[in-house]
């Protein structure tokens, strides 16, 4: 059974990045500094936690990658670089691993002062597949712009932040994503849930739900799965956030992926 863990993660830096990260869609066009690109590339290489998935940094984002998009959702402008989140085109574990390992690059970019925005909806898939040099059987599951965000929110970003349910920053309460959370839960698990609350998700739907089962924590998704926008990918992102907080609390472990239902993975303490 597949296992995910990042024992070598810079836990403190990435937890801090997770708390302040915000999807940014409008960039000032300046090229990203060489040392930042090198640091990001090194994380893409080091944290390929599941062998078949990879995150590719395109130092120069192809100009048409984020085009063809209607409305403010997903309208990306001025990004000099991009990430492509690549893996096998099918497989239940694939979106989980894509979200989990892709978020390592997103948090590293945030640590470096760069903006990002997971985009799994409208992007030019053929362009993204070309920069990622995809093999037959591989697909780009999502992309992200990388660059220096404009100091102020663009009109499109402001509009988006007023919309529901995609309104950024709005988060479900801990009790909604972890029913029964409270004194019966150990501190590390409460902190894990709190870190997961900050995770980005498609349309900000926050599908993750946590259960504490005595000695382990299960993450599941709520409602039916979506073939086009897998909730398992969102859960993979939240799993990385949870793990960083658990590790920061001195409770290392690993995620055991679960098959065949809404339960996605189980955090098993070492």
Ligand X SMILES: Cc1cc2nc3c(=O)[nH]c(=O)nc-3n(C[C@H](O)[C@H](O)[C@H](O)COP(=O)(O)O)c2cc1C
Residues lying near ligand X in the complex (CB under 6 A): 22-23, 25, 73-74, 117-121, 142, 166, 168, 200-204, 233-234, 237
Closest contact distance (angstroms) between CB of 164 and ligand X is: 10
Residue whose CB is less far from ligand X, 142 or 248: 142
Residue whose CB is less far from ligand X, 92 or 216: 92
Residue whose CB is less far from ligand X, 149 or 253: 149
- Which residues are CB-contacts of 200 (< 8 A; sequence separation ≥ 6)? 21, 23, 106, 118, 234, 237
Closest contact distance (angstroms) between CB of 233 and ligand X is: 5
Pairing label, strands 216-221, 263-269: antiparallel
Closest contact distance (angstroms) between CB of 133 and ligand X is: 22
Closest contact distance (angstroms) between CB of 213 and ligand X is: 26
Q: CA separation (Å) from 112 to 148, 210, 241?
A: 10, 30, 18
Residue 125 and residue 262 in contact, taking contact as beta carbons nearer than 8 Å: no
Residue whose CB is less far from ligand X, 22 or 172: 22
**Residue 77 CB neighbours (<10 A):** 17
Closest contact distance (angstroms) between CB of 210 and ligand X is: 17
Question: How far apart are the C-alpha atoms of 65 and 59, rounded to whole Å?
Answer: 13
Residue 105 DSSP SS3: helix
CB-based burial label for 135 (10 Å; 0-12, 13-18, 19+): exposed
Residue 92 DSSP SS3: coil
Residue whose CB is less far from ligand X, 23 or 81: 23
Closest contact distance (angstroms) between CB of 138 and ligand X is: 18
Q: Backbone phi, then psi, for 147, in 5-degree steps? A: 170, -170
Residue whose CB is less far from ligand X, 127 or 201: 201
């Amino acid at each position: 059974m597949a296992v995910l863990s990042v024992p070598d993660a810079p836990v403190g830096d990435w937890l801090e990045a997770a708390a302040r990260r915000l999807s940014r869609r409008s960039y000032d066009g300046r090229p990203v500094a060489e040392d930042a690109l090198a640091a990001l590339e090194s994380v893409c290489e080091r944290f390929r936690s599941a062998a078949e998935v990879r995150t590719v940094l395109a130092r120069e984002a192809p100009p048409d990658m984020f085009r063809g998009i209607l409305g403010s959702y997903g309208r990306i402008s001025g990004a000099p670089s991009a990430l492509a989140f690549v893996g096998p085109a099918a497989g239940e574990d694939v979106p989980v691993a894509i979200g989990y390992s892709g978020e390592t690059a997103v948090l590293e970019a945030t640590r470096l002062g760069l903006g990002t925005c997971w985009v799994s909806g409208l992007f030019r898939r053929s362009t993204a597949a070309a920069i990622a040099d995809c093999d037959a059987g591989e697909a780009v599951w999502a992309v992200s712009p990388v660059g220096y965000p404009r100091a102020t929110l663009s009109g499109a970003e402001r509009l988006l932040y007023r919309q529901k349910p995609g309104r950024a920053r709005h988060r479900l309460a801990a009790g909604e994503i972890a029913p029964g959370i409270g004194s019966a839960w150990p501190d590390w698990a409460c902190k894990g849930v709190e870190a997961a609350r900050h995770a980005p998700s498609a349309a900000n739907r926050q599908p993750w739900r946590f259960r504490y089962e005595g000695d382990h924590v299960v993450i599941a998704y709520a409602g039916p799965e979506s073939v086009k926008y897998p909730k398992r990918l969102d859960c993979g992102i939240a799993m990385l956030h949870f793990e960083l907080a658990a590790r920061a609390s001195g409770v290392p472990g690993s995620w055991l992926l679960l098959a065949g239902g809404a339960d996605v993975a189980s955090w098993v303490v070492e």
